[in-house]
Structures are given as structure tokens and as C-alpha cells.
Amino acid sequence: MTPESILEYPWSAPPAGGQTLQVAPGVHWVRMPLPFALDHINLWLLEDEMAGEPAWTLIDSGIGDDVTRGLWERVLAERVAGCPVARLIVTHHHPDHAGLASWLIERTGAQLWMPQAEYFAAHAMRDGSSGFGFDRVVAMFERNGLAGEKLTLMQQRRSNYRNRVPAFPSDYRRLMEGDGQQIGGREWKVVMGYGHAPEHAALYCEELGVLISGDMVLPRISTNVSVWANEPEGNPLALFLDSLSRYAGLPATTLTLPSHGLPFRGLRERIAQLKEHHRLRLDELHEACETPKAAADVLDTLFRRKLDTHQLFFAMGEAMAHLHLLEREGRLARSVGGDGVVRYIRA
């Protein structure tokens, strides 16, 4: 069953670039373009107040390019319309969410709020430090079987994080699990999620019945869940699947506002679909490992389409995440061959 057949989409189309659409009392939807296959991101403006006067809170910033800056200028002129911006909440450090954080703060005087792990990850990614250097990524992929033309293409690719996040603030205020943020006289509770990013903040308002899910729950695709070079033995898929259960307890009528795709109702159904999707992929990988397989060997099992270099980067991390979970569950055994490549076989 497809997401379209089981989910309810209250809006059939997004707002045009630079325009906003109200989706709940005090909650406005903005869509910004992205320069890759996942060609858009949804951002959210919440009506707020400062010292008893109207103000705004912004959720995520978009990527750090001139097109997005130009669209933000229109939003600030026409929707924000001279009101102060109290805060910018960044759900996680990925460039489509954090890219213009510094520019928006300088432009509006807003305070930056985000989870601590995400704040430090943004700086580490920009600096290529703390294990985030791209050479370490390539070396990890080579240890997991990437070779030949694909390895050459990956070696030629460099991190573009700094281009897409041209600056990042030097101070912030920390978001933590369970925090209650008072925004516009309503409480928004922070619900942390893991696996897609180190410490992804979703926001839930019980009064409105609205979940700003970020990348944790998307209506049509499953968010990327990858092993990263700074945690090469990580088990992010287990963390992600466990995080999904946190959202499953929210009311069935919850309006979910994702970072990609259309707002929808049917959160519990979508979580069940996502869990089933990963269960099927895990079972397929288990079957494929009748003989020893490296992560690079199972890309065709997980991804039934031609991958460009950008997609190959995420596909390798995701293949590793699935293999790591199967190993932790005892369904696969791991070995390192004389060539130094990590391979897995059915236990």
C-alpha cells in the first residue's frame, strides 16, 4: 500500500516561492528550493510575541545560497512585515536546515536555538574536524568494499558543506528532550529523534495537534540513515527505528509537518509503513548475504536505480547502517578479509 492511498493530505500543493500558507492557527508554511534531487525543503513560521508585542519564531533556515536569501527577503518583507524575530530554531545540522542560520540571525537579530550535538556537528562539518573530514569518509567506504570507478568518483568528490553553510553562529541556546518552548502563548514540546542526525529536534504542540517532524517522519520517502566516519561502528538504524516509536504515541489526528513533501495526517500509519519498509530491506539483505558481501556489494539490493555520486555517498552509509543492525541482531556475522574489506555473511 502506497503512502498516497493511506495518508490524508489537507493541501494538494505547496505555497509558491517566497509566499506563505497558514496550516494551523499561528503556523505558516514556506517552501524553499534545493539544488539537488530532493529539490525542496519546507520551513515553518510560528506567530510569537516579545514583550507583549507580535513577533515570530522561525523553524529551520534553508540552504545557504542567493536564491534562498532572495526568497527570505520576500518573506521577511511581506509576512514578517517588520515584526521582530524572537528566535530561529534549527532542528539539525544538515545544510538544507542550517545553511542560512547565521545570515538570518544577522538579518533579524533572532536567537539561535538547537540541540547541542547538532550545534557542534555543524561546526565540525564546516571545519572538517572531529572525524568529519572527507578523506575519512572515503577511507571508510573503501574498507566497506567501494572500488573501481565508484571509488574514483568518490575520491574526486569533496565535502560541499562549507559552501552550503557559508557561516555558522558562535553561540546558541540549547534545546533538550522534553523542553517546553512557549511560542505565541502555546507550548511546543521538544521530541528528540536519533539515527538521521546526532540529536534531531522535532516539535509537538498538543493544543494545536501539530507535529513539526523535520526529517524524522516524511510522507513519501524514508529519510537517510547512515553510518558516518566519525562513528564507523555506529548502529544508527536501530536508533532511528526506536525514535519512530516516540512519535507513534501521538494522537491519530496529529497534523504532521515534514521537511520534505506535503503536510499530512496519518502519522501512526506512516510510522508503520516506515518500519515495514526497513524490515523488508533488512530481510532482503539477510538473504543476499548467503555468501560474504560488503556494503558496496549490496547497493543494488537496497537501491533499484542508477545512483549518481551524490546519491552513492548516502547509499553507502545507508547500506552500512542496515548491515550493522543485522550484525547486532546476530543475523549476520562480520569478517575482515586479507584485502582489509569488511564483509558480512548469514550467521
Q: Which long-range contacts (CB under 8 A, 24 or more apart) does 26-35 make?
A: 26/184, 26/186, 26/208, 27/208, 27/210, 27/257, 28/79, 29/257, 29/263, 30/71, 30/75, 32/62, 32/63, 32/68, 32/71, 32/72, 33/67, 33/68, 33/71, 34/63, 34/96, 35/63, 35/65
Q: Find the mean pLDDT for residues 54-61.
A: 98
Do 40 and 32 meet the contact criterion of CB atoms below 8 Å apart?
A: yes
pLDDT of residue 156: 87
Which amino acid, one-letter code, is at 321? A
Give the single-character DSSP code of 80.
I
> How far, CA to CA in Å, does 34 sit from each of 63, 96, 164?
7, 7, 10
pLDDT tier at 3 (50, 70, 90 boundaries)? low
pLDDT at 36 over 90: no
The pTM for the full model equals: 0.95
Q: What is the mean pLDDT of residues 14-28?
A: 96
CB 41 within 8 A of CB 260: yes
Which one is predicted more confidently, 215 or 6?
215
Task: Report the sign of the C-alpha dihedral through residues 90, 96, 98, 103, in that order.
Answer: negative
How confident is the model over 220-273, as pLDDT tens digits? 999 999 999 999 999 999 999 999 999 999 999 999 999 999 999 999 999 999
The span from the CA of 341 to the CA of 102, in Å, is 41
pLDDT tens-digit map of 128-148 = 998 888 999 999 999 999 999
Closest CA to 62 of 21, 83, 90: 90
CB 302 within 8 A of CB 326: no
**Residue range 143-185, pLDDT digits in tens:** 999 999 999 999 888 888 999 999 999 999 999 999 999 999 9
- Residue 305 has a pLDDT of 82
Q: What local confidence, expressed as pLDDT, does residue 1 receive? A: 46
Grouping H, G, I as helix, E, B as strand and the rest as coil, residue 293 is: strand
More confident residue, 214 or 156: 214
Q: Tell me, what's the pLDDT at 310? A: 86
* Mean pLDDT, rounded, for 264-288: 97
Q: Tell me the percentage of the chain whose pLDDT exceeds 70.
A: 99
Residue 186 is predicted with a pLDDT of 97
Q: What is the mean pLDDT of the chain?
A: 95
